[in-house]
Amino acid sequence: MHTAILIVQCKDNKGIVAAVSQFLYENNGNILAVDQYIDEELGDFFMRAEWELETFAIEKDSILEEFKKNVGFKYEMQYSLSFNFPKPKMALFVSKLSHCLFDILSRYYSGQFNVEIPLVISNHPDLEPVVKAFGIPYYHLPVTKENKFTQEKRQLELMKEHQVDFVVLARYMQILSGDFINNFPNNIINIHHSFLPAFVGAKPYHAAYKRGVKIIGATAHYVTEELDAGPIIEQDVARVRHHNTIDELVQIGQDVEKVVLSKAIKYHLARKIQVVGNRTIIFN
Amino acid sequence: MHTAILIVQCKDNKGIVAAVSQFLYENNGNILAVDQYIDEELGDFFMRAEWELETFAIEKDSILEEFKKNVGFKYEMQYSLSFNFPKPKMALFVSKLSHCLFDILSRYYSGQFNVEIPLVISNHPDLEPVVKAFGIPYYHLPVTKENKFTQEKRQLELMKEHQVDFVVLARYMQILSGDFINNFPNNIINIHHSFLPAFVGAKPYHAAYKRGVKIIGATAHYVTEELDAGPIIEQDVARVRHHNTIDELVQIGQDVEKVVLSKAIKYHLARKIQVVGNRTIIFN
Amino acid sequence: MHTAILIVQCKDNKGIVAAVSQFLYENNGNILAVDQYIDEELGDFFMRAEWELETFAIEKDSILEEFKKNVGFKYEMQYSLSFNFPKPKMALFVSKLSHCLFDILSRYYSGQFNVEIPLVISNHPDLEPVVKAFGIPYYHLPVTKENKFTQEKRQLELMKEHQVDFVVLARYMQILSGDFINNFPNNIINIHHSFLPAFVGAKPYHAAYKRGVKIIGATAHYVTEELDAGPIIEQDVARVRHHNTIDELVQIGQDVEKVVLSKAIKYHLARKIQVVGNRTIIFN
Amino acid sequence: MHTAILIVQCKDNKGIVAAVSQFLYENNGNILAVDQYIDEELGDFFMRAEWELETFAIEKDSILEEFKKNVGFKYEMQYSLSFNFPKPKMALFVSKLSHCLFDILSRYYSGQFNVEIPLVISNHPDLEPVVKAFGIPYYHLPVTKENKFTQEKRQLELMKEHQVDFVVLARYMQILSGDFINNFPNNIINIHHSFLPAFVGAKPYHAAYKRGVKIIGATAHYVTEELDAGPIIEQDVARVRHHNTIDELVQIGQDVEKVVLSKAIKYHLARKIQVVGNRTIIFN
């Protein structure tokens, strides 16, 4: 079923829900889901509505304009409109670890993700056979201090060439430059192997072991220029005990990482995420 | 802040959200929260809206009538209107175990519950000192096979006398008759010490031990005539290990029970629960 | 590192720990892990010890006999001795769903499992490409009421031919006969898609939806003749909300299933499971 | 039942388990529980054994000496011996929040804790009625920058006077001086309202809200001079969503805090905790 998804944001005000829902009703929109959220601290109103396109009175390409004219303008709204088709194009960046990659490809294979994966990029050759087995092109672009700038340029060219909509760092162990990041604002999802903000940076399982925590976790977040500090999309945790070695923390943690990352991808694909400052609204 | 809460249910139809929100907007209602849910299986639409009363153009006592005339009638809605004042009156039924009682009284003491507790009823004398310390009347009504009918009559009189709105069975180890239950449809909350539907009935921790489960749980539900089969409001679980004795299961479980029961009470007090068949919608 | 694992069971008695550990010490065993458990209800003592073989004074093939003579006989012990080499051989049985299969193969690929997978058997052809991509033979043995007996015979032949040590039913949607099961006592692991003992049998997610539970789960257990009633190895759960459709329950549940099943396999491979009646001790 | 609990620590070595268990066996000790742990990184061995005193051949007061002579000396062990009687004496420090206090007192009331509570100390008068209702003396010692030193002296006098064994900071909102702390090494338990090491210091729920985490937590730890940096005893978490206000985070978090703190007290009372560097072994 083809649907449209509208997310709006504006100062909280009387009549907004009425205005938006009236707009959809008058144009014969069959609403499938509608969610609101009022951020009392900011005084801001947020709404996500999804409706069937087939019966809708306004042409796909005119919806935004009509909405602006009839509703958006009056309430000084910011809004974004998207559609659940064609399938968005997702690029995967990986290094050597396979658990997140397999989890994503497995869902891709079984049709759980409404997505296309035009390419996988890696700074190592290791995972090429896995990716090839799924019929997906694999680009091996080793990164060193010296060639980082050039390789990122190449990566960006590949993104363009394959018309990539968003990027998933599935345990890609390189830090992207601000320049790369700015090409995909709120469109690069990273999985960090700790419950942020604890254990930012390298080797979080080692740090967790050393600190003697009883719970470890993983965090999927949008990438911003500050390392591991972007808006959090999803987190989960697992219990550990004193006898668990660092290697065991790694294995226990990987099961959390892969599920958390795939949930974040699912929210992103369904346009259920709205970033507000450094926080996310998850319309779920 | 004084608020009104409207919950509506009707066949799903275009324009319902618009109609309800338009009604609130036209009457100057400042919406604090609005949630919808479409049950695709039933084809039913549900909505909960909460708004400030102070600025609302319609008198408290006329809201229902006006709503019916302007919206409810057209969409053949069922609806219920309530207010967050005066505080609802909650009766507690207990037996010998104190953990749920203490948890509820502790929240009552700290102002976490918007509720009055006019009385506690027990079939045992044990918890009277605890209840008295909180300044709440305690009625000791021992129940036997023989006097059950009489005692329930007395209990119902007490409910009436104290104008009780709803009843919480905080580990009350007697089964209420259908007659009693019918006096409080969807207004008796019970905590069962298992993750229903597993381990219905007596001694669920013993049964859990015997079955060798790795997770135990607790379930808060509305009481219906069929034992432990009413609509589930909230559940939670805790991990156990093979070395945990039944006594340890009981202690671990009690921590789950008390938190689950108090959450259910909180949802009930905030009118966030809508019963649909044998399921609950939790507008949260 | 080559290790031996000894699990003993006997009536609880003074001096058992001393006797076993003395035996290992005297023979120069470097203990890597030792765990005891006293089942107070049964009055039974259980112990698992793992030690390095390299420095051990007794030849691999004589350990059992020596242990019996020096310790086992005196305390009327039952005991089992195993080694972490050669790698055990695990057969996978699947039907159409790929999530558990992928999860297992992904861990197999990354070396997380100390196992060989000589073959995969399925009653459907669907997953053959996946399995082939990992270089594992795939046997398509469709099962009907009529041919069930013959096909099980064929399956057993394949087990023999490939010297299979244990079987994992990774969402294999056929019920094995008692005859088949008796060939692999406590060596067939099944994943059931509910938190047993709730929702035994077919379509547990549908049943969970209908019952309106707030938590769904999955259970890995050894297969016995009674359906979904064998000793539980591992369980886990996930929260669901009223708006989750059955399809969403399925997707949420699959993430729990695959992690639970893989944990059970890991325990089984490490010989950390002892079955006692219908319960399991997990030496972890 | 009267029991003795021995915890030993030494360099890992062959024969330690044999030596300790032989010592208990020869002296007719009926072992109720025994747990070992080998810290591979440190190369250290840890063991906790609990046994019945009634039948034990060595007098209570001579056990330590005999153990040292027969076992401890040989392996250069550190060891601590304790008994489950008389009941340890626990002092509670509170400020204004009642949830942890109620939870502890409720377990004390129901006999879940093997403890005496000779006094409660607070820098505020608010919780006096609650404490008095349980028949426990309440000392109101307001703390300011100016009188902090004097008040701590008074607190220490009260600890001495009441023969306090350990201190529980049940949301006591004052920072204790190093001098006070050094009087109770590994005997002051604090509950911090975040999953440490995230959100050290004041107002962690505000910080969690601002960071937009999807999970909040609580941490019970031994108090050391560095704020919120002592050995972690227990942690737990709860999910939150974008719509939860800071006040809601506080309420959700309090349910975690109280259960985590009470679990830590239970471990401490059962002498199940061994501090190693800045980590804890929980023999459970």
DSSP-assigned states of every residue in chain D: --EEEEEEEEE--TTHHHHHHHHHHHTT--EEEEEEEEETTTTEEEEEEEEESTT-SS-GGGHHHHHIIIIITTTT-EEEEEES-SPPEEEEEE-S--HHHHHHHHHHHTT-S--EEEEEEESSSTTHHHHHHTT--EEE----TTTHHHHHHHHHHHHHHTT--EEEESS--SPPPHHHHHTSTT-EEEEESSSTTTT-SS-HHHHHHHHT-SEEEEEEEE--SSTT-SPEEEEEEEE--TT--HHHHHHHHHHHHHHHHHHHHHHHHTT-EEEETTEEEE--
Q: Is B109 on the interface with D (CB under 8 A)?
A: yes
What pLDDT does residue A166 have? 98
Same domain, C18 and C60: yes
Q: Using CA atoms, how far apart are residues C244 and C206, in angstroms rounded to an integer?
A: 12
- CA distance to partner chain C, nearest, from residue D32 (Å): 8
Helix (H, G, I), strand (E, B) or coil at C39: strand
Q: Is B282 on the interface with C (CB under 8 A)?
A: yes
Stated length of chain A: 284
Q: Using CA atoms, how far apart are residues C76 and C10, in angstroms rounded to an integer?
A: 6
Partners of D242 on chain A (C-beta within 8 Å) are 37, 279-282
Same domain, A135 and A273: yes
Q: Is B231 on the interface with C (CB under 8 A)?
A: yes
> Is the omega angle on the peptide bond into residue B118 within 30 degrees of 0, that is, cis?
no
Q: Is C112 on the interface with A (CB under 8 A)?
A: yes
Same domain, A158 and A225: yes
Residue of A14, A243, A282 to mutate for B, most B C-beta atoms under 10 A? A14
Residues C133, A133 contacting (CB under 8 angstroms): yes
Same domain, D118 and D63: no
Q: Is C110 on the interface with A (CB under 8 A)?
A: yes
Last residue of a domain, one of C83, C111, C144: C83
Q: What amino acid positions of C are annotated as catalytic residues?
A: 228
Mean pLDDT, residues A170-185: 97
Instruction: Give the count of domains, chain B.
Output: 2
**Rg, chain D, Cα only:** 21
Residue D83 φ then ψ, to 5°:
-130, 155
Closest residue to A22, CB basis, from B22, B29, B30: B22
- CA distance to partner chain C, nearest, from residue A94 (Å): 15
Other Cβ atoms closer than 10 A to C178: 9
Closest residue to D212, CB basis, from A40, A242, A278: A278
For B61-78, the pLDDT digits (tens) are 999 999 999 999 999 999
Partners of B130 on chain D (C-beta within 8 Å) are 109
Q: Using CA atoms, how far apart are residues B65 and B70, in angstroms rounded to an integer?
A: 9
For A231-262, the pLDDT digits (tens) are 999 999 999 999 999 999 999 999 999 999 99
What is residue B182's DSSP assignment? H
Q: Is C162 on the interface with A (CB under 8 A)?
A: no
What pLDDT does residue D218 have? 98
Q: Residue C41 corresponds to which tokens in the numbers above?
A: 């209800």
Contact state of D110 with B98 under an 8 Å Cβ cutoff? yes
Same domain, B135 and B37: no
Residues linked to residue B5 through DSSP beta bridges, in sequence order: B50, B82
Q: Using CA atoms, how far apart are residues A104 and B255, in angstroms rounded to an integer?
A: 37
Q: Is C147 on the interface with D (CB under 8 A)?
A: no
Write the CATH number for D13: 3.30.70.260
Indicate if the pLDDT at residue C151 is higher than 90: yes
Helix (H, G, I), strand (E, B) or coil at C63: helix
| Paired sense of beta strands D232-239 and D215-222, if any | antiparallel
What pLDDT does residue A43 have? 94
Contact state of D24 with C33 under an 8 Å Cβ cutoff? no
Residues C170, C95 contacting (CB under 8 angstroms): no
Partners of B36 on chain A (C-beta within 8 Å) are 34-35
Q: Using CA atoms, how far apart are residues B37 and B60, in angstroms rounded to an integer?
A: 26
Last residue of a domain, one of C83, C108, C133: C83
What pLDDT does residue A284 have? 87
Write the CATH number for A147: 3.40.50.170
> Is the omega angle on the peptide bond into residue B125 within 30 degrees of 0, that is, cis?
no
Q: Annotated catalytic residue: which of B228, B236, B247, B255? A: B228
What pLDDT does residue B114 have? 95
Residue D68 φ then ψ, to 5°:
-60, -50
Chains touching A (3+ CB pairs < 8 Å): B, C, D
Q: Is A112 on the interface with B (CB under 8 A)?
A: no
Instruction: Give me the percent of chain B exceeding a pLDDT of 90.
Output: 95
What pLDDT does residue D62 have? 97
Contact state of A17 with B36 under an 8 Å Cβ cutoff? no
Indicate if the pLDDT at residue A40 is higher than 90: no
Other Cβ atoms closer than 10 A to A211: 16
Q: Is D215 on the interface with C (CB under 8 A)?
A: no
Mean pLDDT, residues C218-240: 97
What pLDDT does residue D90 have? 98
Q: Using CA atoms, how far apart are residues A247 and A249, in angstroms rounded to an integer?
A: 5
Q: Is C70 on the interface with D (CB under 8 A)?
A: no
pLDDT in 10s for each residue of chain D, 284 residues: 999 999 999 999 888 989 999 999 999 998 888 899 999 889 999 999 999 999 999 999 999 999 999 999 999 999 999 999 999 999 999 999 999 999 999 999 999 999 999 999 999 999 999 999 999 999 999 999 999 999 999 999 999 999 999 999 999 999 999 999 999 999 999 999 999 999 999 999 999 999 999 999 999 999 999 999 999 999 999 999 999 999 999 999 999 999 999 999 999 999 999 999 999 999 98
- CA distance to partner chain C, nearest, from residue A65 (Å): 32
Same domain, A159 and A56: no
Partners of D135 on chain B (C-beta within 8 Å) are none
Same domain, C186 and C273: yes
Other Cβ atoms closer than 10 A to D98: 24
User: Which amino acid, residue D30?
Assistant: N
Sign of CA dihedral A143, A144, A145, A147: negative
For A219, A282, B194, B197, the CA distances from B200, given in Å and listed in that order, are 38, 36, 8, 6
**Rg, chain B, Cα only:** 21
What is residue B87's DSSP assignment? P
Last residue of a domain, one of B53, B83, B113: B83
Which of D201, D198, D190 minimizes the C-alpha distance to D215?
D198
Q: What amino acid positions of A are annotated as catalytic residues?
A: 228
Partners of C112 on chain A (C-beta within 8 Å) are 251
DSSP-assigned states of every residue in B121-152: EESSSTTHHHHHHTT--EEE----TTTHHHHH
Q: Residue B1 corresponds to which tokens in the numbers above?
A: 């802040």
Residues C138, C120 contacting (CB under 8 angstroms): yes
Residue C44 burial by Cβ neighbours in a 10 Å radius (0-12, 13-18, 19+): middle
CA A154 to chain centre: 23
Same domain, A54 and A117: no
Residues D215, A195 contacting (CB under 8 angstroms): yes
Q: Is A99 on the interface with C (CB under 8 A)?
A: yes
Residue of D102, D240, D284 to mutate for B, most B C-beta atoms under 10 A? D102
State the pTM of this model.
0.97
Sign of CA dihedral C56, C58, C59, C62: negative
Contact state of D98 with B110 under an 8 Å Cβ cutoff? yes
Residue D97 φ then ψ, to 5°:
-75, 135
Same domain, B116 and B69: no
Residues B90, B265 contacting (CB under 8 angstroms): yes
Same domain, D68 and D110: no
Residues 6+ apart with CB under 8 A from D130: B109, D98, D101, D102, D105
Helix (H, G, I), strand (E, B) or coil at A89: strand
Mean pLDDT, residues C262-272: 98
Q: Is D151 on the interface with B (CB under 8 A)?
A: no
| Strands across the sheet containing A232-239 | A138-140, A116-122, A89-94, A166-169, A188-192, A215-222, A232-239
Q: Is B241 on the interface with A (CB under 8 A)?
A: no
Same domain, D78 and D157: no
Q: Residue B261 corresponds to which tokens in the numbers above?
A: 């029961």
Indicate if the pLDDT at residue C40 is higher than 90: no
Q: Using CA atoms, how far apart are residues D49 and C105, in angstroms rounded to an integer?
A: 42
Contact state of B98 with D112 under an 8 Å Cβ cutoff? no
Q: Residue D269 corresponds to which tokens in the numbers above?
A: 């009372």
Question: Count of CB contacts below 8 A, A vs C?
Answer: 35
Closest residue to A98, CB basis, from C97, C99, C110: C110
- CA distance to partner chain C, nearest, from residue B93 (Å): 25
Residue of B37, B46, B213 to mutate for C, most C C-beta atoms under 10 A? B213
Q: Using CA atoms, how far apart are residues D71 and D20, in angstroms rounded to an integer?
A: 7
Sign of CA dihedral A98, A99, A100, A101: positive
Contact state of B18 with A24 under an 8 Å Cβ cutoff? yes
Chains touching B (3+ CB pairs < 8 Å): A, C, D
Residues linked to residue C135 through DSSP beta bridges, in sequence order: none
Helix (H, G, I), strand (E, B) or coil at A175: coil
Same domain, D123 and D259: yes
CA angle, residues B123, B129, B133, in degrees to nearest 5: 125
For A110, C106, C155, the CA distances from C120, given in Å and listed in that order, are 19, 15, 10
Residues D235, D260 contacting (CB under 8 angstroms): yes
For B138-151, the pLDDT digits (tens) are 999 999 999 999 99
What pLDDT does residue B40 have? 87
Q: Which of A106-115, A213-222, B11-20 has the lowest mean pLDDT?
A: B11-20
Identify the helix (H) or strand (E) that includes residue C12. none
Residues D233, D282 contacting (CB under 8 angstroms): yes
Contact state of B197 with C212 under an 8 Å Cβ cutoff? no
What pLDDT does residue D211 have? 97
Alpha-carbon dihedral B100, B103, B108, B111, rounded to 10 degrees:
-150
Contact state of A262 with C251 under an 8 Å Cβ cutoff? no
Domain hosting C28: range is 3-83
Residues 6+ apart with CB under 8 A from C284: C267, C272
Partners of B34 on chain A (C-beta within 8 Å) are 17, 36
Partners of A18 on chain B (C-beta within 8 Å) are 18, 21-22, 24-25
Question: For chain A, where are the E strands, in sequence order?
Answer: 3-11, 31-39, 44-52, 78-83, 89-94, 116-122, 138-140, 166-169, 188-192, 215-222, 232-239, 273-276, 279-282
Q: Is C103 on the interface with A (CB under 8 A)?
A: yes
For chain C, give the mean pLDDT.
96
Contact state of C18 with D25 under an 8 Å Cβ cutoff? yes
Contact state of D33 with C34 under an 8 Å Cβ cutoff? no
Which of C91, C149, C96, C144 minimizes the C-alpha distance to C120?
C91
Question: Count of CB contacts below 8 A, C vs D?
Answer: 42
For D58, D68, D268, the CA distances from D52, given in Å and listed in that order, are 11, 19, 19
For B234-248, the pLDDT digits (tens) are 999 999 999 999 999
For B79-117, the pLDDT digits (tens) are 999 999 999 999 999 999 999 999 999 999 999 999 999
